[in-house]
Chain A
Amino acid sequence: MADNERIKPAVLFPVQIIGSVVVGFLREIGRLGAFTGSTILAAVTPRWYPGEIWRQMIRIGFYSLPVVGLASVFIGAALALNIYTGGARFNAEQFVPNIVVLGITRELGPVITGLMLAGRVSAGIAAEVGAMKVTEQIDALTTLSASPPRYLYAPRLIAAIITMPLLVIVANVIGVAGGWLVSVASLGFDSTVYLRNTLDFLQATDVNAGLIKAAVFGAVIAIMGCYQGSRSKAGATGVGRAATLSMVGAAVLVLATNYMLSTLFVRIGI
């Protein structure tokens, strides 16, 4: 009996750890779900704050242009080089313009922009909201009858959903231009033929698929930033941790939703 009592905690220990991790995970999913619901509700019902939405559009969209542009030009150029090298194995080098434009518009444009904004915007929102929380600014908003979901989170969500597709259009154009530049400058393509092939091959559905993804990624990025910021613990460590969790969470969710949306688009023929 005494031996059994001594053994019991050791046997239960791994079960307790698994149980506690599962319960913690489910609790977190529940919290995130409730937070997402209240933020979306605040975004689709009045009252809206146009000034705040515009300010966030500038911060999220305009200030992300340099990093998105730079990333896109390099991705487009590297993609062209890799497709040229791979295509050369079965004499398919001429498909570089087609594959570059397809890869950029349907996949790399939205995903790279999403990942860039997960780092730049989601972490920034988490740090800002987290700092507001620990300095009681969110409590102050509440006491001044301004609902935090309506005044703080919804403008960021709306701004991200509007600006992400615009950024992806820019990323698409610059990414294709990167592929064109390297193809013409070092792979021996004729500029006019390259551009004609690109435009002839591109369909509206390719662009639309990328833009739908972009809007969803925008929502994911803004919600993760606001959620982690609102859960921030006190102190520099707490705010830093919120920013890190937000960036990692947003990046993983961007990749996961990208896969789910790609699967959906294949099924419905977009």
Chain B
Amino acid sequence: MAYKVTVNGKTRSVDVEPGTPLLWVLRDTIGLLGTKFGCGCGLCGCCTVHIDGKVARACQTLIESVGDKAITTIEGVGETDTGRKVQAAWIDHDVVQCGYCQAGQIMAATALLARKPAPTDDDIDQSMVNICRCGTYTRIRAAIHQAAGQTPAPAGPPEPEIV
């Protein structure tokens, strides 16, 4: 069945069965591979995208529910001022270990900052529920505060004390 979807400002036609999750339309039909598959149950957040600016789990979003809503993925989020700042902060803090969850984390963080431009640690705890199996939470938190302008960009990435 043919559906029209608007992803990162571009409208495309896709031919998939009803009930197909947006995640697989993005990855296998459109070929936007930045949005990741992690659990298929909406539990881990690897597939986080924005639908009309709000976070959504692409693995739980059926294609027929999307309609003409605007979808933003990790490939497009850098077009926004906030998204660009978040991506830059992720580099500044050298957040990434394996990096697999980070697209979802960045999408979650960008949506959080759109709602709460100056998030508290508690706001971050409440909103940043995506799993990072490598355990980069400390750096994610620091990067969000930087992207919010609450802390300056560090002179270098975080370092341990070496004695």
A and B are partners in one complex rather than unrelated chains: no
